[in-house]
Amino acid sequence: MAKGNKQNTKNSSSKNIEPAQPLWAGRLSEKPDAQAFVFQSSINIDKRLVFDDIQGSRAHVTMLGRQGIIPRESAVKIVRELQTISAELKEGKLVIDASYEDVHSFLEAVLTQRLGDTGKMVHAGRSRNDQVALDFRLYLKRSVPLIQLEISKLLGILLDTAQLHVTSIMPGYTHLQRAQCVTLGFHLTAWSAALSRDYSRFDDALKRLDECPLGSGALAGSSLPLDRKAVSDALGFSRISLNAMDSVADRDFALELSSACAITMVHLSRFCEDIILWASEEFKFIELAESWSTGSSIMPQKKNPDFAELIRGKSGRTIGNAVTLFTLLKGLPYAYNKDLQEDKEALFDSIDTLRDCLGMFAGMIKTAKFNLKRMKAACTGGFLEATDTAEYLVRKGLPFRAAHETASSIVRECIEKGHRHISGLNLDELKKHSELFEEDIFKTITPAACIKARDLPGGPCPKEVRRQIRVLRKKNQIIF
Ligand code: ARG
């Protein structure tokens, strides 16, 4: 859902303003070819930067007035008009005219048509190159925290659910084969740890992008006495960028954020893969709410986990967007090149996709029901206690490799005799494998005992998982 694309846009010139004239029309004697002009215009994508562009222009013009670069009264007039434009856009009284090249050209045209020569002062000491670098950063500074809010909400749901299930036994898998007993709480805490890292990855990217490029001009600054620091402070940036050429050429922040989006989507995709498996008749570990499932147009019995599948599917486009951005930049000479115009569509799409998917995943998991009986039953069958049996022997002094061999031959005997758990053998039978076995082996290898015994930091023991949940909750609270 490309939310930002829903803004009102007109394809022909609006009532309020005159037909589009490129900002660079003065250089060329011929009018641009109509089709070619449409091809190179970006307004249908960058229109979502309109309020960031207005905010940037207000700070820039205020500074121009203070520095005496333009008359103070002109600065006041422009700032006031920008406020009016902003209000009119919000009310729908002014509509973005898509026949302009980009949102920057559109706004300058509106100003000029309304204020005449005064409007023409707005671009002093500025290029669209530093302007678009600014707008993009401003947009990201307000939209990335919205992604983080969604991550945080989802984390809250996952951790609450994990807390309820610190003793709900289920198999843990490697190679999709039952491996060792764990709990549902432990599994959900594993997901939560990944999401918590995702959150902090966005924090890191935000810190680095938090610098103001305005005053960098096209690539080499300006000879006008701009006060870069004042503009940066007015716009709430932490600092001004260091080097003008870098400021207009840099899209590291887009690479970082598209990667952070793709990584988070890959996490969601993996969680969804678990859910899809768990929802199958074969596993039956989870029952998705009817309102979060779909049916089949032909098979009357079907209840499909479409939402999980779609999230898994959509992770592909976010990976694609990151690859688009890396490819866009890899051969680009310094400084600005029009190729960079392609950056916004890719990143906007990743941000929109991730936000949607985080919300969908939260809704799906919140309403799902876990089949705890099935999960527990899956722990007897598959000899998930074999490693714990080997470790029992290690505690009695046997070298691990020997203990591993002993436990393997026990498993083989169980399979031959049709037992589904090592406790199917009695103590005499076990003693034939090793004299070290005592009566206590039987209470050591129940699923609950196995889980309780794995109490190292990071382990699935309920007390330890409660601690892990506390750690993640604390991080999630700092977030708010
Ligand atoms: N639409 C352009 C972009 O997104 C704005 C900057 C254009 N600058 C230029 N020199 N053509 O990159």
Residue 299 in this model has a pLDDT that exceeds 90: no
Summarised one tens digit per residue, pLDDT across range 337-346 is 999 999 999 9
Q: Could you give the CA distance from residue 316 to residue 318 in angstroms, rounded to a whole number?
A: 5
Cα 472 to chain centroid distance, Å, stands at 18
Question: The tokens of 329 are what?
Answer: 């930049």
The Cα angle at residue 186 between residues 182 and 190, in degrees rounded to 5: 125
Ligand 1 centroid from CA 62, angstroms: 23
The mean pLDDT of the chain is: 92
Beta-carbon contacts of residue 185 (< 8 Å; ≥ 6 apart): 162, 163, 164, 165, 166, 167, 168, 462, 465, 469
Partner residues linked to 174 by β-bridges:
177
Cα 340 to middle of ligand 1, angstroms: 7
**Closest to 123 (Cα-Cα) out of 36, 29, 217, 46:** 217
Q: What local confidence, expressed as pLDDT, does residue 422 receive?
A: 94
Whether residue 42 is predicted with pLDDT greater than 70 in this model: the reply is: yes
Pairwise CA distance, residues 208 & 144, whole Å: 13
Q: Average pLDDT, stretch 449-456?
A: 95
Peptide bond into 25 cis (omega under 30): no
Residue 328 has a pLDDT of 97
Element at 2 (helix H, strand E):
none
Taking the C-alpha atoms of residue 192 and residue 155, their distance in angstroms, rounded to an integer, is 6
Counting from 1 in the atom list of ligand 1, the atom nearest the Cα of 42 is 1
Q: Which residue has the higher pLDDT, 300 or 434?
A: 434
Residue range 306-322, pLDDT digits in tens: 899 999 999 999 999 99
Query: Above 80 in pLDDT, residue 28?
Result: no
Mean pLDDT of 18-40: 74
Which of 39-43, 348-352, 364-368 tops mean pLDDT?
Answer: 348-352
Nearest ligand 1 atom to the CA of 340 is: 12
The burial of 150, by beta-carbon neighbours within 10 Å (0-12 exposed, 13-18 middle, 19 or more buried), is given as: buried
Q: What is the pLDDT of residue 82?
A: 98
User: Mean pLDDT lowest for which of 38-42, 233-237, 246-250?
Assistant: 38-42
Length of the chain as a residue count: 480
Q: Is the pLDDT of residue 461 over 90?
A: yes
Average pLDDT (430-453) is 95
Alpha carbon of 16 to those of 22, 44, 48, 116: distances in Å?
17, 19, 20, 14
For the chain, percent of residues with pLDDT exceeding 90: 85
Phi, psi angles (nearest 5°) of residue 3 = -55, -45
* Total H helices, total E strands in the chain: 19, 8
pLDDT, residue 298, reads 66
**Ligand 1 and 102: CB distance under 6 A:** yes
192, 159 in Cβ contact below 8 A? yes
pLDDT of residue 480 exceeding 50, the answer is no
Nearest to 255 by CA among 149, 360, 332: 332
Tell me how far the alpha carbon of residue 318 lies from the centroid of ligand 1, in angstroms: 24
> Of the candidates 123, 48, 114, 52, which has an alpha carbon nearest to the alpha carbon of residue 81?
114
Q: Is the CB of 47 within 6 Å of ligand 1?
A: no
Residue 363 has pLDDT above 50, yes or no: yes
pLDDT above 70 coverage of the chain, percent? 92
The lowest-confidence range among 30-39, 199-208, 376-385, 426-435 is: 30-39
Angle at 189 between CA 184 and CA 195, to 5 degrees: 135
Probe target for ligand 1 pocket from 39, 102, 337, 348, with the most ligand atoms within 8 Å of CB: 102
175 is catalytic: yes
Strand 169-174 and strand 96-97: the pairing is unpaired
116 CA to centre of ligand 1 in angstroms: 24
Per-residue model confidence as pLDDT tens digits over 232-245:
999 999 999 999 99
Residue 69 pLDDT class (50, 70, 90 cuts): very high
Confidence of residue 31 (pLDDT cuts 50, 70, 90): confident
Q: Is the pLDDT of residue 291 over 90?
A: no
Q: pLDDT grade, residue 127 (50/70/90)?
A: very high
pLDDT digits (tens, 9 = 90+) for 279-288: 999 999 998 8
Q: What is the pLDDT of residue 20?
A: 67
Q: How confident is the model at residue 302 (pLDDT cuts 50, 70, 90)?
A: low
Residue-level pLDDT at 275: 95
pLDDT at 479: 52
The C-alpha atoms of residue 98 and residue 101 are separated, in whole angstroms, by 8
Report CA(248)–ligand 1 centroid distance (Å).
Answer: 10
Taking residues 170-196, what's their average pLDDT? Answer: 96
**For the residues 457-467, what does the mean pLDDT come to?**
97
The pLDDT value given to residue 24: 66
Rounded to whole angstroms, the Cα distance separating 44 from 103 reads: 9
Whether ligand 1 lies within 6 angstroms of the CB of 132 is answered as: yes
Q: Is the pLDDT of residue 154 over 90?
A: yes
- What is the tens place of the pLDDT at every residue in 89-118? 999 999 999 999 999 999 999 999 999 999
CA distances from 213 to 101, 232, 247, 362 (A): 22, 8, 5, 37
Contact 461, 451 (CB under 8 A): yes
Whether the model clears a pTM of 0.85, i.e. scores above it, the answer is yes
Q: Which two three-digit tokens encode residue 390?
A: 């080997």
For residue 477, count CB atoms less than 10 angstroms from its CB and return exposed for 0-12, middle for 13-18, buried for 19 or more: exposed
To the query of whether residue 60 is one of the catalytic residues in this protein, the response is no
Of the residues 12, 29, 175, 291, only one is catalytic, namely 175
Per DSSP, the three-state class of 24 is coil
Q: What is the predicted pLDDT for the residue at 306?
A: 85
The pLDDT of residue 6 is 41
